[in-house]
Amino acid sequence: MINKWSFYTSLTIIIAFLSLGFKPFDLDSNSWFLTNKTDGTHYLFPSQKQNEHTNLTVPFTGKYFIGYKEAIAFKESQGQYKKINSLGYLGKYQFGMETLKTIGVNNRVAFLNNPKMQEEAFVALLSKNKWELQDEIQKYDGRILNGIKITESGILAAAHLGGAGSVKKYFRSSGKRFMKDAFGASVRSYLKAFSGYETSFIVADNDANVY
């Protein structure tokens, strides 16, 4: 009887000890991975502060273009190339077919199964939007509007969300038109969340095409 009692006691202690190794990861203790939850920017992406990455395995992307496009991709689809949302938007950056046709993509299935094409489509749309919004970029880049520092990268991200026309309407109203998409993301939130990234190398080109 004593041996049996000792066995179960030892087993309980071992189980309790092992369970300590499976403590859930607490996001709340890592504020570096959270953004401001106002204006629809309540999603996660790596910190912009280089010194906070010293002892972490998360890559430092800073304000480089790689950080820009991956942050947008995470917001749009959690970075999933084959993602199709409830409204039919496609891929890692959630393109509509009508938008894809303007940059030379007509095959929906081929697009979903080709990561390289999706990456090229993202850059092509940036080029097209930069051409369409060149006046707004020249006028507002560096200015503060409704508490947000307007930058080229923010303008291009907002155009990715709602189209160049929506961005023009936003600026024409001096930021008073609070336009959102079907899921609640707003032009204003994208102007804020994606401000200050490196996009100067993007060439403004109304004829930008994937092929």
Tens-place pLDDT, residues 69-78: 999 999 999 9
Report helix, strand or coil for 148.
strand
Tens-digit pLDDT profile for residues 167-208:
999 999 887 766 554 445 788 999 999 999 999 999 999 999
Under 8 Å between Cβ of 86 and 77: no
In a domain, 14, yes or no: no
Between residues 14 and 82, the one the model is more confident about: 82
Q: Is 152 contained in some domain? A: yes
Q: Tell me the CATH number at 178.
A: 1.10.530.10
Question: How much is the pLDDT for 30?
Answer: 36
Alpha-helical segments (H) within 24-175: 65-77, 97-102, 108-112, 115-132, 134-140, 152-162, 164-172
Specify if 51 maps to a domain: no
What's the structural domain count of the chain?
Answer: 1
* Separation of alpha carbons 79 and 8, rounded Å: 48
91, 118 in Cβ contact below 8 A?
A: yes
Whether residue 178 lies inside any domain: the answer is yes
Classify residue 39: in a domain, yes or no: no
Residue 73 lies in a domain: yes
Q: What average pLDDT does range 33-46 have in this prediction?
A: 41
Domain membership of residue 37 (yes or no) is no
Structural domain boundaries, residue 87? 67-193
Instruction: Decide if 81 is inside a domain.
Output: yes
* 79-103 confidence digits (pLDDT tens): 999 999 999 999 999 999 999 999 9
- Give the lowest-confidence range in 114-118, 144-148, 178-182: 178-182
DSSP string, 81-109: TT-B-TT--BTTTTB-HHHHHHTT---HH
